[in-house]
């Protein structure tokens, strides 16, 4: 008997898989990449969790499908920020079901705990998700199973319901107990959660879609740097530290020119390729304002195929009006 686990890398989904594996069920852990996960690379962590409980890990990239079907016109709307949680979950279950059929697996599991998160994990929202993805009865949530109606796997006796959990709410006490029992190590997931739930990230997204069509290649640009919208509509992204500068430097997206200061240390920046001359001048002044420069002097900046000479603003306060965040 084989099941597909919707695997986030977190403790709940790891424990859910372990509860199944202990009952002799083979588990394929599927991590669905929407593109908006934490900026930290969590692959190593996910692999370690799977290895510790004995599940196979597979990363499924749905970025393009996600932008097309879910993110910009969610049937059930957004949560507090840019997070279309109900539609997003329905998509994830639909993708998992597709994999289940392809793999000849018999049911799905997830680490969801009833009542843990107000928006996405309450009972009505979950039921809606299951109906919409045609997964009703197929999805077993081992962590809260005893609080839920029996699923196909339990009814058919593939899984012993008595050995499952009945956890509800936000307390992590039972999860910690289980982790200790099985000797799970390093289970705290590194990095933040989904960027779509972040208020500042949402501001950048709302700004972006006012000016441009959002594509998969734009996701990475949204993850790093200080974002500014210039007078004629160009987008400027300026690295805030060494790590962000490195990330921005490695971005290949022909909507943007790379900009670097010449002769003075400065941040790495990206500017819309179609920026007007006025926005190029403004971008240059802004970038120089983030360097150790003086408004009395002129400095050079190298764009992809030309150079600009400019001077910084007198103060960073002059830049505030352009800041998205």
Contact residues toward ligand SF4 (CB under 6 A) are: 34, 83-85, 88-89, 120, 194, 196-197
Would you say 84 or 239 has its CB closer to ligand SF4?
84
Would you say 33 or 315 has its CB closer to ligand SF4?
33
Please report, in angstroms and rounded to a whole number, the separation of the first and last CA atoms in the chain.
Answer: 50
* DSSP string covering 194-246: -GGG-HHHHHHHHHHHHHS---HHHHHHHHSSEEEE-TTS-EEEE--SHHHHH
State the minimum distance, in angstroms, from the CB of residue 146 to ligand SF4: 24
- For 313, counting Cβ atoms within 10 Å of its Cβ (0-12 exposed, 13-18 middle, 19+ buried), the class is middle
State the minimum distance, in angstroms, from the CB of residue 15 to ligand SF4: 18
Would you say 96 or 283 has its CB closer to ligand SF4?
96
| Whole-angstrom distance, CA of residue 78 vs CA of residue 127 | 18
| Whole-angstrom distance, CA of residue 50 vs CA of residue 17 | 9
State the minimum distance, in angstroms, from the CB of residue 91 to ligand SF4: 8
| Whole-angstrom distance, CA of residue 115 vs CA of residue 81 | 20
State the minimum distance, in angstroms, from the CB of residue 82 to ligand SF4: 8
- For 307, counting Cβ atoms within 10 Å of its Cβ (0-12 exposed, 13-18 middle, 19+ buried), the class is exposed
Would you say 54 or 192 has its CB closer to ligand SF4?
192
State the minimum distance, in angstroms, from the CB of residue 280 to ligand SF4: 36
User: Among all chains, which residue has been given the structure tokens 């799977």?
Assistant: 50
Would you say 25 or 86 has its CB closer to ligand SF4?
86
Would you say 150 or 193 has its CB closer to ligand SF4?
193
Tokens of 63: 């970025």
Would you say 83 or 310 has its CB closer to ligand SF4?
83
State the minimum distance, in angstroms, from the CB of residue 262 to ligand SF4: 41
CA 304: distance to chain centroid? Answer: 30
State the minimum distance, in angstroms, from the CB of residue 198 to ligand SF4: 10
* DSSP string covering 278-305: HHHHHHHHHHHHTSS--TTS-EEEE-SS
256's CB contacts (< 8 A; 6+ apart) are 221, 235, 237, 270, 271, 272, 273
| Whole-angstrom distance, CA of residue 58 vs CA of residue 31 | 6
CA 103: distance to chain centroid? Answer: 26
Would you say 152 or 222 has its CB closer to ligand SF4?
222
Q: What are the DSSP E strand ranges found in 67-113?
A: 107-110
State the minimum distance, in angstroms, from the CB of residue 320 to ligand SF4: 30
């Amino acid at each position: 008997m084989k099941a597909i686990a919707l695997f986030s890398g977190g403790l709940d989904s790891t424990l859910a898989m372990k509860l199944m594996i202990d009952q002799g069920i083979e588990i394929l852990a599927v991590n669905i990449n929407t593109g908006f996960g934490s900026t930290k690379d969590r692959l190593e962590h996910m692999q370690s969790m799977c290895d510790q409980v004995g599940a196979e890990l597979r990363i499924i990239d749905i970025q393009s499908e996600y932008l097309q079907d879910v993110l910009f016109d969610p049937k059930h709307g957004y949560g507090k920020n840019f997070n279309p949680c109900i539609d997003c979950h329905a998509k994830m279950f639909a993708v998992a079901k597709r994999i289940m059929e392809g793999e000849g697996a018999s049911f799905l599991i997830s680490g969801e705990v009833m009542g843990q998160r107000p928006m996405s994990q309450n009972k009505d929202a979950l039921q809606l998700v299951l109906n919409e993805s045609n997964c009703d009865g197929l999805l077993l949530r081992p962590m809260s199973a005893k609080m839920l109606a029996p699923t196909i796997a339990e009814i058919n006796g593939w899984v012993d319901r008595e050995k499952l959990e009945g956890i509800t709410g936000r307390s992590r006490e039972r999860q910690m107990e289980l982790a200790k029992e099985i000797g799970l190590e390093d289970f705290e997931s590194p990095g933040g959660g989904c960027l779509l739930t972040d208020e500042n990230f949402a501001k950048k997204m709302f700004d972006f879609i006012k000016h441009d069509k959002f594509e998969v290649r734009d996701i990475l640009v949204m993850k790093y740097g200080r974002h500014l919208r210039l007078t004629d509509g160009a987008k400027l992204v300026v690295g805030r530290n060494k790590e962000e500068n490195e990330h921005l430097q490695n971005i290949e997206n022909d909507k943007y020119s790379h900009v670097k200061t010449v002769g003075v240390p400065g941040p790495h920046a990206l500017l819309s390729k179609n920026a007007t001359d006025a926005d190029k001048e403004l971008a240059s002044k802004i970038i120089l304002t983030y360097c150790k420069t003086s408004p009395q002097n002129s400095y050079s900046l190298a764009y992809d195929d030309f150079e600009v000479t400019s001077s910084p603003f007198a103060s960073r306060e002059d830049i505030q009006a352009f800041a998205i965040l």
